[in-house]
Chains A and B, each alone.
Chain A
Amino acid sequence: MQRISEEILSKCRALLEDGTADRVMGWENGEFYYDVTPAVFTKDNLDNMIYDDFCASNQSKYFILESKKEGKIVALLKPCDTYSFNQLLKENRINRDNVYVLGIPCDGKIDVQKAALLGIKGITGVKSVGDEVVFETIYGEKSCAKKDVLFEKCMSCKGKKHMIYDALSNEEQEPETAIANEDFGNRFAYIENLEHMTPDERFDFWRGELSRCIRCNACRNVCPACSCLTCVFDNPKSGVDSKANTDDFEENLFHIIRAFHVAGRCTDCGECTRVCPQNIPLHLLNRKFIKDINELYGEYQAGADIELGMPLTSYTKQDAEPSIVYERGGNK
């Protein structure tokens, strides 16, 4: 089974051959079929590049370093990655001159754990056919509804429009506006459920989740907004450095501060939850900030507009008072 569309491959090859760029950032095969890895390709090994429904990672963050290197790199960005890429541009972290953005299409990425729960194992190939996914496995062909095996982050897809690009691999597919997929419903629904709980129930919920945190830092390392050269938690001079959670408080502290540091900059790409080995729904923290920002300061999508001021570095004189937190919804 061909693991990359001819359009993407030929466009990349042309860009390398005509000297527009000298590297391509994409994905390559890992140990297992579904185990794909971000990788940088040149003319010589471009044939090893793959892109299919397992290539879920948001690679925007790599371009902070890649764009500082000599020469130009092709960035293969899915629509949702372009928000993160834009946000990093806005923060002057990426040297735009050294990146050629090739917008690639995405129909949602497959969470192999969800497939496993449906009994689909030993995968040797995958193909989307309409709303269905067909897996080739060592036990024969299996299929299921795509919706049932999508990553959490794809369940609140921001739409198929690229926010920034130099070229698109498939121009016909590009919609005029970014429309979120309504099939998935309200992305804040789970947060609203939590808000309607009592504080003790919420506390128990989060203790249950965050007490599993092993401080592997995967969430931080994958997060495009968490791209500080030195993280405060790694800096002995910050006064809050800690390499491991030694008690409940530190589990909370790390995640509150991490969410606060990315508030207003988080594009809701959902990578934190995708990579968490402990399956902690970390996106529920960031998304809570997004929900509050939308409700209190007006709808805001980080990375959608490169010029717009960010919610935490702007204000209006009529902003709500902090006491609003205690006055609105939810149980006392």
Chain B
Amino acid sequence: MQKIGVFVCWCGSNIAGTVDVERVAQAVANEPGVVISTDYQYMCSEAGQLKIRQAIKEYGLTGIVVCSCSPRMHEATFRKTAQAAGLNPYMVEIANIREQCSWIHKDKDEGTEKAIILAKAAIAKLHLNTPLKAGESAVTKRALVIGGGIAGIQTALDIADAGYEVDIVEKSPTIGGKMAQLDKTFPTLDCAACILTPKMVDASAHEKINLFTYSEVEGVSGFVGNFKVKIRKKARHVKADLCTGCGVCTEKCPSRKAPNEFNQGLNKRGAIYIPFAQAIPNVPVIDTEYCVKMKTGKCGLCATVCPSKAIDFEQQDEIVEREYGAIVAATGYKLINLDNFEEFGYAQNKDVITSLELERLMNAAGPTKGTLLRPSDNEHPHEIVFIQCVGSRDVSGCGKPYCSKICCMYTAKHAMMIRDKYPDTKVHVFYIDVRTPGKNFDEFYRRAVEEYGVDYIKGMVGKVVEKDGKLLVQGSDLIANEQIKIEADLVVLATAIEPDPSVKNLATMLTASIDTNNFLTEAHAKLRPVESPTAGVFLSGVCQGPKDVPETVAQASAAAAKVIGLLAKDKLTCNPCVANSNELLCNGCSQCANVCPYGAIEYINKEVNDHGKREVRRIALVNEAVCQGCGACTVTCPSGAMDLKGFTTRQIMAEVDAICK
């Protein structure tokens, strides 16, 4: 039998105003196991806590019930109080007689009666409480960053600078991501490569950072502090340790059919290629789909010209298994497919391009060496129309319901840069709203309008059709309330962005959740924005939601700070209110594992002693470091083998019984 102390709090007049606290204390004084029942003005105050600590010692209490405010408010406080007096912190139960009693009931008798019942329910539950001990698990002091764009690079650099090892896994042949493709960055118009490539070099040169480029995560097991990850290093068919990056192979390759991804397919590249001049690592890759040697067996010119004999047509994918304490998802984004937006004629007209294609057309390292020429005839365009919100804020189902956030600013940037470089070019921008919430953003946009004379038209474009070598843009001007037609040479679509498709598979592997738009969900939208709900998994960059470069970098560093905080610990303390399986009752049917959102249940073959009968059985084993204590398994289990500590079946039924007495 437990020796229980009941402590009824007045909370000043918050509780005592509508609940007769003395009557509550008296009413439960004779409940089985209760050895002391008392009330006090403020139980959470130092004096109130002292009262509890003294009573625990004086009466040798084995558990306490505090009738007070919500456990969400002070459960932790009273657990600490109990612990300070030598009691197990989980031998504390709270009866919520403020939020769920005194504050909502006006009649004092009614409130008092209810408070007594709630106190009795807490006592009934406490009788079945057992001391719980939080488990501990070790932390592998290494982090994995998935994605090598600016988000992943920044996160990795910050973690590495704090002294921890970091691996970056990037699926393309080089790190750098989308930012490497950008020409200039708003609102300061720095050249993207000038600010990004030094960071790429830092990352590759950092002694704590390992790069796995042209690699993909293939499987994740384990849990916070102890992840095991399988990484597939795809075959480059070039031996990285021998290659000097001289580039002779890429020049001599006779195949020139492959679209150049880095230039958004605006020109072609060889079958053996380095994505761009500053790529890291500076090691080419053979694109087996276009390589003549790989397809027909005849050619092999690259191998002949390679001075360091680095070409290896036989190279195979390699699987490496690494252990990590924390994982950061930084998988970034892609532009949406424009098939649903036939009205803009993107597929039909070469001169209807996306903004990312325009970045390449304006970049000195791009297909036109930085001179703005239209893709169809390499002529300089004199009239350009930008269309904003193509697929963004679209509730019709064709596009995305959310704002892609970066388009207003990059469109202003493009318009301004074109007007600056080619003053003879007219620039029109169709917009729904211009959104410039950022430091120096609105100033930037106003400069585009006021200093550079960009023609902003509030309204949407209905149709873009080709007419006599020009693009006839038909749209509406909502302010002038008129239909307008513009004969443009080039149309640029501010295309919506969406999470990189690889995130879906990754989310499954990480048991991290994604929202209806496939963005990874945060543990809490406001208060834990860089953590995923799965412990030990963090979010960096656009995989969590649209954001621009400065925001991405800020979030990347925030995620790094969270990772560093985790890796700095030698041991993790687990929540002790977790599921546990009674091995004598377990049927081994695996139903619990099917409902566990965390993959916390594994099955083992174990010899059990069932009342003298020894046999090997297949039984469930809960990994207490992974289990978060939801209890889904407890209801799925037909035999009742699975129970939840702190919320056991018998505890909850004892509460039901006490309430329904």
Contacts and interface: CB of A to CB of B under 8 A. Distances in A.
Interface of A: 68, 91-93, 227-232, 235, 237-240, 261-262, 309-310, 312-314
A144 B23 CA distance: 77
A235 B649 CA distance: 13
| In the A-B complex, the 8 residue pairs with the closest CB atoms | A91-B589, A228-B639, A313-B594, A261-B638, A232-B640, A239-B650, A238-B640, A239-B653
Nearest to B633: A313
Given A227-B587, A313-B594, 18 more contacts: A91-B587, A93-B587, A93-B588, A228-B639, A229-B585, A229-B639, A231-B639, A232-B638, A232-B640, A237-B650, A238-B640, A262-B638, A309-B594, A310-B591, A310-B594, A312-B636, A313-B591, A314-B594
A324 B653 CA distance: 28
Contacts of A232: 638-640
A234 to B, nearest CB: 10
19 contacts: A68-B615, A91-B588, A91-B590, A93-B588, A227-B587, A228-B587, A229-B584, A229-B585, A229-B639, A230-B584, A231-B639, A237-B650, A239-B649, A239-B650, A262-B638, A310-B594, A312-B636, A313-B595, A314-B594
Contacts, number: 52
A68 B588 CA distance: 14
B230 interface: no
A235 B640 contact: yes
How many B residues touch the partner, as a band?
Answer: 20 to 34
B51 interface: no
Interface in B230-278: none
B590 A230 contact: no
Contacts of B584: 229-230
A310 B591 CA distance: 9
B591 A91 contact: yes
A229 B591 contact: no
A314 B595 CA distance: 7
A313 B587 CA distance: 16
Nearest to A264: B591
Contacts of B618: 92
A228 B638 contact: yes
Given A235-B585, A313-B591, A313-B594, A230 B649 contact: no
Interface string B573-593: 000000000001111111100
Interface of B: 584-591, 594-595, 603, 610, 615, 618, 636, 638-640, 649-650, 653
B595 A238 contact: no
A91 B586 CA distance: 12
A242 to B, nearest CB: 14
B293 to A, nearest CB: 41
A313 B585 CA distance: 20
Which interface residue of B586, B591, B595, B653 has the most chain A CB atoms within 10 A? B591
A313 B639 contact: no
B591 A238 contact: no
A83 B522 CA distance: 43
A227 B584 CA distance: 14
Contacts of A237: 650
Q: Is the interface of A mostly helix, strand, loop or mixed?
A: loop
A313 B589 contact: no
A228 B582 CA distance: 13
Given A229-B639, A230-B639, A238 B588 contact: no
A92 B590 contact: yes
A240 B653 CA distance: 9
Contacts of A262: 638
Contacts of A91: 587-591
A207 to B, nearest CB: 22
Contacts of B639: 228-232
Contact of A230 (B585, B603, B615): B585
Contacts of B603: 92
A238 B589 contact: no
Nearest to B591: A313
B504 to A, nearest CB: 15
Nearest to B590: A92
A92 B639 CA distance: 15
A313 B594 CA distance: 6
A238 B636 CA distance: 15
Nearest to A262: B638
B339 to A, nearest CB: 25
Contacts of B595: 313
Nearest to B653: A239
A241 to B, nearest CB: 10
Nearest to A95: B618
Contacts of B589: 91-93
A273 B315 CA distance: 64
A229 B588 CA distance: 10
A261 B585 CA distance: 15
A261 B650 CA distance: 18
Contacts of A238: 640, 649
A230 B639 CA distance: 6
A92 B588 contact: yes
Contacts of B638: 228, 232, 261-262
Nearest to B586: A229
Nearest to B657: A239
A239 B653 CA distance: 8
A68 to B, nearest CB: 8
Which interface residue of B584, B585, B586, B603 has the most chain A CB atoms within 10 A? B585
B228 to A, nearest CB: 24
Contacts of A230: 584-585, 639
A77 to B, nearest CB: 20
A314 to B, nearest CB: 7
Contacts of A229: 584-587, 610, 639
A38 to B, nearest CB: 22
A227 to B, nearest CB: 7
Contacts of B590: 91-92
A232 B588 CA distance: 16
A310 B595 CA distance: 10
B641 to A, nearest CB: 8
Nearest to A241: B640
Which interface residue of B591, B636, B638, B649 has the most chain A CB atoms within 10 A? B638
Contacts of B640: 232, 235, 238
A232 to B, nearest CB: 5
Which interface residue of B589, B615, B618 has the most chain A CB atoms within 10 A? B589
A238 B649 CA distance: 8
A42 B594 CA distance: 39
B508 to A, nearest CB: 14
Nearest to A233: B640
Contacts of A228: 585, 587, 638-639
A231 B636 CA distance: 14
